[in-house]
Structure 1
Amino acid sequence: MSTNLEHFKAIIERGFSQGDLTVADEGCAEKLIEHEYLSKTDLPGPQILKAQIEDARGSIKNLRLAIEAIVEAGDTVWARSKATGVDPRSGKPVAIDVIDICRFSGGKLIEHWGVPDRFALFHQIGALPPPPGST
């Protein structure tokens, strides 16, 4: 049997980095409690995860997530990842941190908090003014 860490890594590597949506059917419960800002919440769990993967891959071209730190405590996995790719509108390379907290039950994702650093993304693509003192 796979561990929660292995389930999480599959979601990140196969799902977000490779665009394999089958990972949602395999690793997400029908009922997913989703806390990420702007994420869909009125769909079955696997559909929520598929939408998140598609949205992320549409927002950052050639998206790759690399897990930089990960901890499992009981039924919960906490991770910090680096998302890299290219902003499709500006063509600029981007790199942001992503924090995920995922709760599992019976080998399935049942609850998720996700915090991608959208503020850093907006700075990198020029949608926000540069930070003070950076010019």
Structure 2
Amino acid sequence: MTALDTLKTWYDRVWLQGDLDAIDELFTPDTEARGMMDFAVGPEDFKALVPAFLAHVALQDIRYDKVVEMGDWVWASMSAHATSRATEAPVRVTGQIMVRVQEGRIVEAYNQFDFLALFEQLGYLPPDTLALCLSGEGLGLPGA
């Protein structure tokens, strides 16, 4: 299995199917994903994160728009297509991930996804939040 095959299996089983048992099969116990939050996310964290995320959206498809493989590393520019569970509106989030795979398991992961756009589409942030913030507008925070 190539590194890309492992990455696709991760997203298919864990994110599309919600198979939390696949986390332990596809991550080593000490693997940490970086870039999603201010802290690293390990296997136990994913077991809480995946259901929390899937409570907001019904994922339908994950596309690998651009892929580069080199040895045990794979980088992918991706797009996830879903619907909001609250409104049934279409939702699309883009991102990039780089992982290193050994013996069919992810041993390093670096993620960057456009959560700002995701939360705008879900209605949790106002439209054009980034433009508002760049113009100096606050989002109801004290002192903003």
Give the drift of 1:16: 0.9
- Indicate the percent of aligned positions where both proteins have the same amino acid: 28
Q: Secondary structure at the match of 2:32?
A: strand
Specify whether residues 65 and 127 from structure 1 end up closer, same or farther in structure 2 by C-alpha distance, changes over 3 A only: same
Misfit runs of 4+, over 6 Å: none
Q: Pick closer, same or farther for the CA change 1:96–1:78 going to 2, 3 Å.
A: same
Structure 1, unpaired ranges of 5+: none
May I ask how many residue pairs the two structures share in their alignment? 129
Which structure: greater strand fraction? 1
2-side partners of 1:17 and 1:39: how far apart?
A: 25
Counterpart residue type for residue 5 of structure 1: L
Extract unaligned runs of 5+ from structure 2: 132-144
Q: Which amino acid aligns with 1:117?
A: D
CA distance in 2, matches of 1:30, 1:17: 22
1:108 and 2:105 are equivalent in the alignment: yes
Structure 1 residues 57 and 125, CA, compared in 2 at 3 Å: closer, same or farther? Answer: closer
Distance 1:126 1:25 in 2: 33
What pairs with 1:58-97 in structure 2 (closer than 5 Å)?
Answer: 58-97=55-94
In the superposition, the TM-score normalised over structure 2's length comes to 0.73
The alignment yields a C-alpha RMSD, in angstroms, of 2.5
AA matched with 1:12: Y
What is aligned with 2:136?
Answer: none
Rg larger in structure = 2
**Structure 1 counterpart of 2:50:** 53
Deviates more, 1:71-80 or 1:83-92: 83-92
